[in-house]
Amino acid sequence: MRSNVAFPVALTALLCCGPHIVLGACNFAKTTISTSPGFNIVVSDNYKVLNDTTANIAYGLYCDSQPGNINGVTRWFKVPVDSVGTRIPVASGFLEALGQRSKLVAADFPANLTNICIDKSKVKTLGDSDTSVNVVFSNSASSDESKSVRLPSDDSLTPLQRAEWIKFVAAFFNLEEQASTLFDSISAAYTCHADNMRYLKRAPHAYWVEYMDSPTTYQIITSAYQKNLLASAGATNASTDGLADNTNVAAFQAAVKDADFVFDQTQLKKFGQRITEWYSDFGYKDPQNQGVSFLSQRNIWRTDKYTSKSGVSNYPEFAYVRPDLVLQDLISVLEPTYDRTHAQRWFFRLGGTTEDTTVISASNYDCAKPWMSVVDKCTARKDFSGGDVEEDPSSATSPGSNNGNKEDNSTDGGSSSSRAGKIAGGVIGGIAIIVLAIVATHYYNRHRRRARARALSETAFGSESIGLRNTRH
């Protein structure tokens, strides 16, 4: 009787493992990946070479035994790796999107990880040149000697270029194909939403800014990352260059005075009073009465809505991995009628009455079904001309929008009303057939918007006076 059992077992062993033995190779997927600026991955039978062509360092990845000298490869890793250390938040986001969160076992400052699906008590603090982990992702290829692998950390890459590094990280887990599929859908969604913004009748003016002390500078950020995001969301500006002299506050105020929206990445410290701090930093003494749209409408926005319990922003950890979601956040700020159902993740209105940040929790992040690895499809459209639904019933029919749910009442008030007058007239002309249902939707929207405008004028723009506490002398 024994032989009856042994035979199938032997056969199974042969079937499952035979090919590996016969080829004597790693069975690496033969994908050749090349990004520029960025990296390339070249796969051979028993190793692959990841070449970071920006930092000019090549890493060798092998499955079984380390190959002999391969030209240009100075650092070897056995893959798939199963213990990862990180000194850069985005590594955690890439692992999350790849379903590899459990491989993160060390970080330079574990308490600052915002991914709630990681048990931080099990993540140890990375020592110097820690050898207990297989690889350390960091912003430098030399942080941990032979364990370090660089991931880009600056804004000189566009959002998609930055996100494409998911393929590079995936190579350490032999998950390049999964990463490519995910990245392709992220890229497709990003491009589709950006394309949909090309038909705006009046593009909003927006700037990305940052204040720094010692030495004091007022910056209009024009790095590829911020510039590409703003442009993809349909924003324009009147200043074609950054500031010639970024130490001059008057020059800064003059350059942004046409702004409908300002996005801020200043390191603000006074939680709960950050708008006051912001006005003070940028030298606005009487912000509401400058005749400047973004000030009177309080359209000053930041990206740190999602935070951990201790207030650490989730943006650097998750957002760089999902530029499609970042772009949708940004579009929903600039063009709230594009998709009323979109709930902003990272963007929030600093200029509102409350600092409406959100602690990441099970209610907005399901570890069993993480949205980090789910990409919603975007529908191409040419009919979205932006701005004011009042004049344009067609925009009430944005895809996936079904009026009335999940609207973030605290975040979208000012923008449509501020731009209402400027778009008046002529919009209805292009619409040949207005279905009764759309008309009904239109009136419903109008009713709601008026109610909201009324509510806003009573609260957001009402009694509370934003006093300037001049903390800087």
Please report, as ranges, the residues that interact with ligand NAG according to CB under 6 A: 49, 51, 53, 56, 58, 71-73, 108-109, 112, 207, 220, 222, 227, 231, 237, 239-240, 242, 312, 409-410
Whole-number Å distance between alpha carbons of 324 and 25: 37
CB of 7 to ligand NAG, least distance (A): 48
Is the Cβ of residue 207 or residue 365 nearer to ligand NAG in the bound state?
207
Is the Cβ of residue 7 or residue 444 nearer to ligand NAG in the bound state?
444
CB of 335 to ligand NAG, least distance (A): 17
Q: Which residue is nearest to ligand NAG (CB)?
A: 72
CB of 312 to ligand NAG, least distance (A): 4
Is the Cβ of residue 243 or residue 375 nearer to ligand NAG in the bound state?
243
Is the Cβ of residue 393 or residue 413 nearer to ligand NAG in the bound state?
413
Is the Cβ of residue 203 or residue 427 nearer to ligand NAG in the bound state?
203
Residue type, 385: S
Is the Cβ of residue 280 or residue 411 nearer to ligand NAG in the bound state?
411
CB of 237 to ligand NAG, least distance (A): 4
CB of 367 to ligand NAG, least distance (A): 22
Is the Cβ of residue 207 or residue 347 nearer to ligand NAG in the bound state?
207
CB of 243 to ligand NAG, least distance (A): 8
**Cα three-residue angle 405-411-416, rounded to 5 degrees:** 90
Cα distances (Å, whole numbers) of residue 469 to 264, 271, 280, 411, 415: 20, 14, 7, 25, 27
Two structure tokens written together for 9: 């077992």
Is the Cβ of residue 52 or residue 388 nearer to ligand NAG in the bound state?
52
Cα distances (Å, whole numbers) of residue 338 to 132, 329, 379: 49, 11, 12
Backbone angles phi, psi at 92, to 5 degrees: -65, -40
CB of 359 to ligand NAG, least distance (A): 14
CB of 58 to ligand NAG, least distance (A): 4
Is the Cβ of residue 112 or residue 296 nearer to ligand NAG in the bound state?
112
CB of 450 to ligand NAG, least distance (A): 16
CB of 74 to ligand NAG, least distance (A): 9
Is the Cβ of residue 143 or residue 237 nearer to ligand NAG in the bound state?
237
